[in-house]
Amino acid sequence: MENDQLMKEVTLRAEQWLGDSYDAETRAEVKRMLDAEDKTDLIESFYRDLEFGTGGLRGIMGAGTNRMNIYTVGAATQGLANYLKEAFKDLPEISVAVGHDVRNNSRKFAEIVADIFSANGIKVYLFDSFRPTPELSFAIRHFGCQSGVNITASHNPKIYNGYKAYWEDGAQIIAPHDVNIIDHVNRIKDVKEIKFDGDKSKIQIIGADVDKIYLEKIKGLSLSPEAIERNKDMKIVYTPIHGTGVELIPASLRNFGFQNIIHVDEQDVPSGDFPTVESPNPEVPSAMAMAIAKAKEVGADIVMASDPDADRVGCVIRDNKGEYVLLNGNQIVMILLNYIITRNQELGTLKGNEFVVKTIVTTETIKRICDANKVKMYDCYTGFKWIAAVMRDNEDVLRYIGGGEESYGFLAETFVRDKDAVSACSLLAEACAWAMDKGMDFQAMLADIYCKYGFSMEVGVSVVRPGKTGAEEIQAMMKAFRENPPKTLAGSPVEEVKDYASLNVTKADGSVEKLNFPTTSNVLQWFTADGSKISVRPSGTEPKIKFYMEVRVPMASPADYDAVRAQAAAKIDALKKDLNI
């Protein structure tokens, strides 16, 4: 009976999409699903509305209420436009910037977004073609816009697309605007409420001029031009993995002074099908395989990649055996911040009013680096919108010099408010040149950091529990962790528990302090006497619970690197056993 009711509701929803308000292609696709013997596609496409969440939309492309298409994108844009006209009603003109990535339908969706904004009397700055996500953030600030939209699904599989909404500071939207926009989007009940007929006089196409200004701003971040000049021929392999970094990242590297940029030709082809990889994600070793093969062929000093919208950066270096190994996101952030802080010290520009930001699940080695160099460090929730919020709170008081997260995101500048692979790649290459100037390679530079601040190993584990029973099991796991927290982990006493749902910090002696965070979150953290940190949180978008494990081992000499790694790996195994994962 329950299935019969679901089919009845799904069929009624789908039949509404056969009306004249929908285009012929959409109607034909819906009719195909209605007539098909297998109703799986119909159910998946119409069983719910694609939810406009705090970051926007993300979903599989296709016809239906639960799919990314011109109508779900249209409703999101109309709702955002309605809120902008309410929030900025006193402005003589409201303006937005609109960008997109290389994905299938991204240009189409971006043009529809621009049309809807313009039909609502809003000025639109529309990029002439695909661009990196951080350049959209830059454009919002550069043109003094009140909002912006980027059409991208980041590094998701090719069947996905997405819609990221930004506010006037160039950052993704947080409270109170996030919930207010969601409310306005949810008020759109009929496709006829969406103003699809654009006003072309309100749409200004932007492109190369903005690229030039953006790249010059990034060049201003350079701290070691002399080291680059001496090592300008170092071999840099870069791949955009078919994405938006294809033009601007090599251009930025050349702008910094590097002259030997080696391409992975097959992956320089922008394509929403990402034909050479299973997943266009530089976190995944297989996505880096072609770049590593090219690096072996030419003897590269450094290998870098960006994801399809060029906000995440991947990096491969040679280890002490000469093998090319993928750095994790923690190591990338750690190397970049250590380089920026050290170089500022060398230049005499570290004045004591600097700050950095990291997310709570990112390595604590960063705090050790900051404490040792008297740089203030802030923790925030996962996601660059929270890093941007800390930047906004401190921009008139302290000097931001960098921030990042373990999921391969880094931002060195203030003229962008989202993670930026264009500047991150440029600074990684510069840090490599600086290290070479000191007679080190990147592996030696990494070992030097570990000797100064202690070796850390970070491993993430996701435990998948699908379906309704899985969601209940995940909820029960979090409840059990809160009611019966572990007393020891990997043989070390738990000294502190942070519960971001209650914003309480509980010490081993039972005393409780409060966490200073802007809102609550379903995250638990345990800190042990030997310096380990374990974070656990249910995923907000997938049926899984995530464990972030970080263990520490003292490291006296670079020669101890392999032995220390083995000790850390044994600690990770012990943690997994204790947590039953």
Annotated catalytic residue: which of 154, 426, 532, 535?
Answer: 154
Give the DSSP H or E segment for 571: helix 561-579
The token pair that represents 37 in the structure block: 């013997």
Give the DSSP H or E segment for 16: helix 2-16
Whole-number Å distance between alpha carbons of 421 and 211: 15
- Residue 471: its pLDDT value, please? 82
The answer to whether the CB of 176 falls within 8 A of the CB of 422 is: no
Give every residue of the chain whose pLDDT is below 70, as ranges: 1-2, 540-541
Partner residues linked to 533 by β-bridges: 527, 550
pLDDT one-digit tens code per residue, 348-389? 999 999 999 999 999 999 999 999 999 999 999 999 999 999
Whole-number Å distance between alpha carbons of 141 and 235: 34
The answer to whether the CB of 279 falls within 8 A of the CB of 156 is: no
- Residue 1: its pLDDT value, please? 41
Whole-number Å distance between alpha carbons of 48 and 67: 9
pLDDT one-digit tens code per residue, 27-42? 999 999 999 999 999 9
197 exposed, middle or buried (CB, 10 Å; 0-12, 13-18, 19+)? exposed
The token pair that represents 478 in the structure block: 């979090």
Nearest to 294 by CA among 321, 333, 260, 329: 260
Dihedral in degrees, nearest 10, Cα atoms 259, 265, 267, 268:
60
Nearest to 506 by CA among 480, 490, 483, 522: 483
Please tell me whether residue 166 adopts helix, strand or coil conformation. Answer: strand
- Residue 2: its pLDDT value, please? 61
- Residue 539: its pLDDT value, please? 81
Listing DSSP states for 99-119 in one string gives EE-SSTTHHHHHHHHHHHHHH
Whole-number Å distance between alpha carbons of 378 and 367: 9
Confirm whether pTM is higher than 0.75: yes
Nearest to 172 by CA among 384, 415, 360, 403: 384
- Residue 541: its pLDDT value, please? 62
**Residue 222: active-site member:** no
Domains and CATH numbers, the chain: 48-206 (3.40.120.10), 215-453 (3.40.120.10), 455-579 (3.30.310)
